[in-house]
């Protein structure tokens, strides 16, 4: 923050007019106006009295640095943890307040110190909690409306958590609605909010969606690892991951098609015809089972009636027809039979 912005900010914090500042320093009100608009700067001899009337210090007025490094912030956080236990919460809170005044644009410092102080405020028996809580909330709000989207989402989530704890569910929902779907995952807080409101079906649905998505995410990551292992011809290790992927798919009711896919990838890589055909049979048979699964783990989720089954079959069929890795299977009667099954023909 530039010196002109600091002068204006601290003057307003002290509820002073430009004329009052000018009278105190023995200059004209237009001179103060020029300082605040960056047209000119106060004489060096005026810095000390200017800092006193603004209730700050010369270092702050002359500090053009808006950010701290991550290492500096980490050290500050460690120091705060030590100082709360040695100097007490009140003195540490005051020190943090002064530090934030020194770096008013460092959103990471503001957010992380606010979160830490808030944690201690919840855990300890501190007098006049409301006063501290009000200031922490104000810090969260500063970051929540800041330009750094990631920090903004984190601050909004912290505000939302506080609202849920305080039973202010409507305010919590308004904040949740402000968090974009990409980036910070607000669903855990949303489920907690539903639970507090005794909207249990909605809470179940959120958790089921998270389980379903995360299980698919795990499968996706395992498939990538298997692909890497196959490229390095580490087939035994690849098979370990494939068995794990099968267990995840079966335990989380993702269907036989997904359960067999990882092992099918390895069998193709090794040109193992019998194993490839066996697994392909499982996969194609499993496609038709997709509409009948997910009943025990995901009863609150709504799946489309067709669930895109026809489109999925057509996509898989085209993929198999074009995939050169399957060329060694194409003339086999079993492969032809499986393809007809995929097309819905009697085999």
pLDDT at 145: 83
Residues 6+ apart with CB under 8 A from 17: 29
Domain count, the chain: 3
pLDDT at 346: 47
DSSP state of 295: T
Position 129 in a domain: yes
Tell me: do 77 and 158 sit in the same domain.
Answer: yes
Mean confidence (pLDDT) of the chain: 85
pLDDT at 188: 87
Look at residues 62, 89, 106 and tell me which one is the last residue of a structural domain: 62
272: helix, coil or strand? coil
Look at residues 174, 196, 218 and tell me which one is the last residue of a structural domain: 196
pLDDT band at 310 (very low <50, low <70, confident <90, very high): low
Range of the domain at 335: 309-347
The answer, yes or no, to whether residue 183 has pLDDT greater than 90, is: no
Position 241 in a domain: no
Compute CA distances 68 → 99, 112, 300, whole Å: 11, 12, 47
Position 287 in a domain: no
Tell me: do 169 and 82 sit in the same domain.
Answer: yes
Tell me: do 54 and 125 sit in the same domain.
Answer: no
Look at residues 160, 177, 196 and tell me which one is the last residue of a structural domain: 196
Q: Which residue is associated with the tokens 């698919």?
A: 216
Position 284 in a domain: no
What does the DSSP assignment read for 159-205? HHHHHHHTT-HHHHHHHHHHS-SSSS--HHHHHHHHHHTT-HHHHHH
Position 297 in a domain: no
pLDDT tens-digit readout, 63-79: 645 567 888 888 888 88
Query: pTM of the prediction?
Result: 0.57
Contact 89, 128 (CB under 8 A): no
């Amino acid at each position: 923050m530039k010196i002109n912005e600091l002068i204006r900010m601290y003057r307003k914090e002290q509820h002073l007019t430009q004329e009052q500042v000018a009278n105190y320093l023995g200059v004209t009100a237009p001179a103060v106006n020029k300082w605040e608009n960056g047209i000119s700067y106060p004489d060096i001899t005026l810095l000390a009295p200017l800092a006193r009337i603004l209730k700050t210090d010369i270092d702050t007025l002359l500090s053009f640095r808006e950010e701290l490094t991550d290492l500096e912030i980490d050290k500050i956080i460690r120091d705060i943890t030590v100082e709360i236990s040695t100097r007490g919460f009140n003195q540490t809170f005051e020190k943090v307040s002064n530090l934030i005044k020194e770096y008013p644009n460092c959103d990471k410092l503001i957010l992380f110190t606010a979160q830490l102080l808030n944690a201690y405020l919840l855990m300890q028996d501190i007098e006049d909690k409301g006063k501290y809580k009000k200031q922490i909330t104000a810090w969260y709000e500063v970051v929540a409306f800041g330009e750094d989207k990631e920090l903004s989402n984190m601050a909004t989530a912290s505000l939302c958590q506080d609202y849920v704890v305080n039973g202010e569910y409507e305010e919590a929902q308004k904040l949740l609605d402000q968090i974009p779907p990409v980036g910070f995952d607000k669903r855990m807080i949303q489920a907690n909010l539903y639970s507090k409101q005794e909207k249990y079906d909605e809470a179940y649905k959120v958790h089921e969606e998270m389980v379903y998505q995360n299980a698919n995410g795990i499968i996706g990551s395992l498939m990538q690892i298997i692909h890497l292992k196959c490229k390095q011809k580490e087939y035994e290790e690849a098979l370990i991951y494939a068995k794990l992927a099968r267990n995840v798919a079966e335990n989380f009711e993702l269907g036989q098609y997904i359960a067999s896919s990882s092992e099918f990838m390895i069998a193709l890589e090794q040109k193992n015809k019998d194993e490839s055909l066996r697994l392909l049979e499982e996969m194609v048979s499993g496609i038709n089972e997709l509409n009948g699964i997910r009943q025990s783990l995901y009863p609150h989720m709504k799946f489309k009636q067709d669930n895109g089954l026809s489109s999925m079959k057509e996509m898989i069929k085209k993929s198999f027809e074009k995939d050169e890795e399957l060329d060694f299977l194409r003339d086999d009667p079993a492969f032809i039979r499986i393809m007809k099954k995929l097309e819905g023909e009697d085999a």
